[in-house]
């Protein structure tokens, strides 16, 4: 949806979409786009992050990618990457990363499991390739955080628009 929004208004467009869809819902999932590190997509990513003001985040990570696509920007270690997302969200509203979804399109099942174990050991977070093995560990992490309860502040803000 934000692909056709003027950059100055991405955060506001994301907020409007979230608030329009929040009433009566336990969850509103906002799919991120791009990367905070990629010079071509970081503005969109940050606009979505600030506009949606998440309660929690699931970080998508392709463990075999060492640099951004079409650029030579090195991707930082995953714990630093998680901390960056939490800091960028936290300027407006704290939002922990509660899990890691592995983009394992280039991994066989065994390698995807090995990466999940390594990521969990490095971060203390559940990690899974949801395409290969389902998203249950990530959903459980969201539920364990007490998320999914209606937030009166978000509903109230939406009512006043």
Q: Quick one: pLDDT at residue 78?
A: 94
What pTM, to 2 d.p., does this model score?
Answer: 0.85
pLDDT digits (tens, 9 = 90+) for 112-159: 999 999 999 999 999 999 999 999 999 999 998 776 554 444 444 444
* DSSP reduced 3-state for 147: coil
Identify the CA nearest to 119 among candidates 45, 59, 57, 66. 59
**Angle, CA 97 vertex, CA 44 and CA 158 arms, to 5°:** 60
What's the rounded mean pLDDT across residues 36-47?
86
Q: Quick one: pLDDT at residue 87?
A: 95
Q: Quick one: pLDDT at residue 157?
A: 42
Position 6 confidence tier, pLDDT thresholds 50, 70, 90: confident
Identify the CA nearest to 54 among candidates 94, 85, 22, 10. 94
Give strand pairing partners of 61.
102
More confident residue, 60 or 9: 60
Q: Quick one: pLDDT at residue 31?
A: 87
d(CA 91, CA 101): 24
3-state helix, strand, coil in the chain (%, to 5): 50, 10, 40
Contact between residue 36 and residue 46 where contact means Cβ atoms under 8 Å apart: yes
**Angle, CA 13 vertex, CA 9 and CA 14 arms, to 5°:** 120
């Amino acid at each position: 949806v934000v692909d056709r929004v003027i950059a100055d208004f991405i955060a506001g467009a994301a907020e409007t979409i979230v608030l329009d869809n929040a009433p009566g819902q336990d969850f509103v999932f906002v799919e991120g786009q791009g990367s905070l590190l990629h010079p071509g997509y970081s503005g969109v990513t940050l606009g979505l992050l600030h506009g949606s003001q998440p309660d929690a985040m699931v970080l998508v990570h392709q463990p075999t990618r060492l640099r951004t696509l079409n650029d030579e920007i090195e991707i930082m270690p995953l714990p630093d990457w998680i901390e960056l997302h939490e800091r960028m969200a936290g300027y407006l509203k704290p939002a922990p990363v509660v899990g890691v979804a592995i983009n394992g399109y280039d991994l066989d099942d065994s390698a995807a499991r090995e990466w999940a174990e390594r990521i969990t050991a490095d971060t203390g977070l559940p990690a899974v390739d949801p395409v290969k093995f389902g998203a249950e560990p990530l959903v459980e992490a969201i539920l364990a955080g007490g998320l999914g309860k209606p937030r009166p502040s978000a509903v109230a803000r939406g009512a006043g628009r």
